């Protein structure tokens, strides 16, 4: 397999997310929030609906890191994680804020220090989150 650049994974993830949202009737706007983080605003203008998404795209299924768990930016409604983004059939997981905040789901790094939190693959790869685009219908 050819070596990839992390930016390529992020760009493929961005395009894949736009396509998947469009399949479910959502328009989206993706803006750069920081060098490694994008803000996604999806909407259905004809219905006056808008949601904010946080997304991560990955080459393999791996942990998602949240910096500074105590001060975590919770202005998004759903976390979208796309794994195997460079493969023919990526897999996407959708978690609400409540799903991410659920007891025991976020692991803290450095023996309980709140420096960073990790959402491990076994915490987000449950069947209830896999391709759970239906969750957006209730927004």
- Residue pLDDT, tens place only, 78-135: 999 999 999 999 999 999 988 887 877 777 765 555 567 788 888 899 999 999 999 9
> Is 80 exceeded by the pLDDT of residue 66?
no
Q: Is 72 exposed, middle or buried (0-12, 13-18, 19+ CB in 10 A)?
A: middle
Name the percent of the chain in helix, strand, coil, to the closest 5: 30, 35, 35
- For residue 115, being part of any structural domain is answered with no
Q: How many independent structural domains does the chain possess?
A: 1
Alpha-carbon span 15 to 126, nearest angstrom: 24
Residue 32 belongs to domain spanning: 6-62+75-104+121-138
The backbone torsions φ and ψ at residue 63, rounded to the nearest 5 degrees and listed phi first, read -65, 145
Lowest mean pLDDT among 11-20, 26-35, 37-46: 26-35
pTM of the model: 0.84
- For residue 69, being part of any structural domain is answered with no
- For residue 10, being part of any structural domain is answered with yes
**What's the rounded mean pLDDT across residues 68-81?**
76
Phi-psi region of 107 (alpha: psi -120 to 50; beta: other; left: phi over 0): beta
Residue with tokens 């759970």: 132
- For residue 114, being part of any structural domain is answered with no
- For residue 68, being part of any structural domain is answered with no
> Is 80 exceeded by the pLDDT of residue 58?
yes
- For residue 109, being part of any structural domain is answered with no
* Whole-number pLDDT of residue 34: 67
- For residue 112, being part of any structural domain is answered with no
* Whole-number pLDDT of residue 131: 94
Asked if residue 70 lies in contact with residue 114, where contact means CB atoms within 8 angstroms, the answer is: yes
Give, rounded to a whole angstrom, the gap between the first and last alpha carbons of the chain. Answer: 40
- For residue 28, being part of any structural domain is answered with yes
In 3D, which of 89, 33, 94 has the Cα closest to residue 64?
Answer: 94
Question: pLDDT band for position 4 (50/70/90)?
Answer: low
């Amino acid at each position: 397999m050819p070596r990839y650049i992390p930016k390529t994974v992020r760009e493929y993830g961005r395009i894949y997310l736009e396509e998947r949202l469009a399949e479910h009737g959502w328009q989206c706007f993706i803006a750069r929030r920081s060098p490694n983080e994008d803000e996604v605003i999806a909407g259905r203008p004809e219905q006056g609906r808008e949601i904010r998404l946080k997304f991560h795209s990955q080459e393999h299924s791996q942990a998602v890191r949240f910096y500074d768990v105590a001060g975590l930016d919770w202005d998004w409604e759903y976390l979208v994680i796309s794994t195997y983004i460079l493969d023919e059939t990526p897999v996407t997981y959708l978690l609400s804020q409540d799903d991410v905040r659920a007891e025991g789901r976020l692991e803290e790094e450095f023996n309980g220090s709140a420096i960073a939190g990790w959402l491990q693959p076994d915490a987000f790869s449950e069947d209830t989150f896999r391709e759970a685009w239906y969750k957006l219908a209730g927004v």
